[in-house]
Amino acid sequence: MTATATIPASAIKDATKAALKEAFDSPVGMFLDKGDALWETLEPVTAAQASIPIAPGGNSIAGQVNHMVFYFDVMAGYMRNDPPEHPDWSAAWKVVEVDEDQWQELKLALGQRQSEIITLIDNAPDEVFTDPDIVGGSYAIVAHTAFHLGQIRHALAAQGGQYTATHID
């Protein structure tokens, strides 16, 4: 094989958006099985299930979602060239138990952040997408979402029910 000059920014953007779609909405087999996306995973989860600590005294699925919302906000700040000065990461983990209204609000907040990040990526011209904060922030969200989706699915599997913690390909 021979080395080529550069990767087009459009290829990175497209791959990043495809990975976000895989993680959130509809897997095509990049790294998840069908049915394992975040929204497909969270939709049937009740507030009570979301409030069960993953380990005694530990965080819950609601806490994980709240942390993801917080992470999105921090990364979006970097992508807008307006990073928060001292983000309080621990505050995001203080949410453990939620009632149904709070659980719905958390999911709504996460959906809003998902849309916001897609818009930020779409609106970044190719020449701007070379910025380390933008290209890094957008991929960081992909990896971070995958990590927490893995934790959430494993936690749900451990709770019992129809969830599968893993995939076979």
Which residue, 5 or 101, has its beta carbon nearer to another protein? 5
Which residue, 102 or 167, has its beta carbon nearer to another protein? 167
- Secondary structure class of 53 (helix, strand, coil): strand
Which residue, 108 or 128, has its beta carbon nearer to another protein? 128
Quick note: the x/- pattern for another protein over 9-28, rule CB under 8 A, is x-xx-xxx-xx---x-----
Q: Strand runs (DSSP E) across the chain, as ranges?
A: none
| Residue 11 CB contacts under 8 Å (≥ 6 apart), including other chains | none
Kindly state the helix (H) or strand (E) to which residue 104 belongs, with its residue range: helix 100-123
Q: Report, in Å, the least distance between residue 14 CB and another protein.
A: 8
Which residues, 103 to 132, sit near another protein by CB under 8 A?
A: 126, 129-130, 132
Contact with another protein (CB under 8 A) among 21, 26, 30, 101: 30
Q: Alpha-carbon distance 156 to 122, whole Å?
A: 33
Strand partners, 60: 53
Q: Report, in Å, the least distance between residue 56 CB and another protein.
A: 9
Q: Report, in Å, the least distance between residue 5 CB and another protein.
A: 8
Which DSSP state fits 85? S
Q: Report, in Å, the least distance between residue 105 CB and another protein.
A: 24
Q: Alpha-carbon distance 58 to 73, whole Å?
A: 23
Among 102, 84, 94, CA closest to 64: 94
DSSP labels for 31-86?
SS-TT-SHHHHHTT--HHHHTSBSSTTS-BHHHHHHHHHHHHHHHHHHHTT---SS
Which residues, 39 to 98, sit near another protein by CB under 8 A?
A: 54-55
Q: Which residues bind another protein (CB under 8 A)?
A: 1-4, 6-9, 11-12, 14-16, 18-19, 23, 30-32, 54-55, 126, 129-130, 132, 135-136, 139-140, 142-144, 146-155, 157-161, 164-166, 168-169
